[in-house]
Amino acid sequence: MKIKPENRKNYINNIWLIFIGLVCIPFVLGCSNNYGRLAVNGDVKSQFEKYQILPDHSYYYSGSKARPRAVIGIHKDYTLDSKFWNPIELTSNQLKRWVNYFGPHSQYVQPANGSDILSDQGERIGVWYAFIDWRDWVRVEMVAEKIVNISKPIERNPKIRLKFYGSSKHE
């Protein structure tokens, strides 16, 4: 098939559009399937800052037990499948120590954040509280019915390092 010079540009553009479409379709389909999200909720933040433990949730922390980056509570109807979170029999006293530890260091940290953890269907399956930085987030993936995988907390701005997390750089 011989292409006329005046049609060559349109032909090449069409080939590129088809190629980009074929590359993007699996990506879009893969991203839209089983992922939940965090939904900021001031009531959740308040609940953590009042040291309230939900009895129908199992709790986990990420980071060191002395100074975790975040804590999550997963409803007992769900199972957490993640190597990044450590289970803990959380008490109000332990939660109080964590919340109050970060309070005096407010010059080094961003305000805390409380959020609902939502499934891929938008159902609340747990709660999230970030001690260090309200901009932290996680990837929430429903790997099976009632089984959730939650990534470790991801920094929104990794250039900012906190003194008590091992770096004295303020880039």
Instruction: Write down the domain spans for the chain.
Output: 1-32, 37-165
> What pLDDT sits at residue 50?
94
Q: Which of 36-40, 77-81, 99-103, 127-131 has the lowest mean pLDDT?
A: 99-103
In the structure encoding, which two tokens stand for residue 24, read together?
Answer: 């993007």
Q: What is the dihedral of CA 100, 101, 104, 110, to 10 degrees?
A: -90
> What pLDDT sits at residue 137?
80
Going by C-beta distance under 8 Å and a sequence separation of 6 or more, which residues neighbour residue 139?
Answer: 35, 149, 150, 151, 154
d(CA 118, CA 39): 7
Q: Could you read off the pLDDT of 59-117 as tens digits, one per residue?
A: 999 999 998 989 999 999 999 999 999 999 999 999 999 988 765 444 444 566 899 99
DSSP 149: E
d(CA 107, CA 83): 31
- pLDDT above 90 as % of the chain: 51
Q: Could you read off the pLDDT of 144-161 as tens digits, one per residue?
A: 999 999 999 887 655 544
Q: Could you read off the pLDDT of 3-15 as tens digits, one per residue?
A: 666 666 666 666 7
- Whole-model pTM above 0.85? no
> What pLDDT sits at residue 136?
74
Q: How much is the mean pLDDT over the chain?
A: 80
Averaging pLDDT over each range in 13-17, 56-60, 133-137, which range is the top one? 56-60
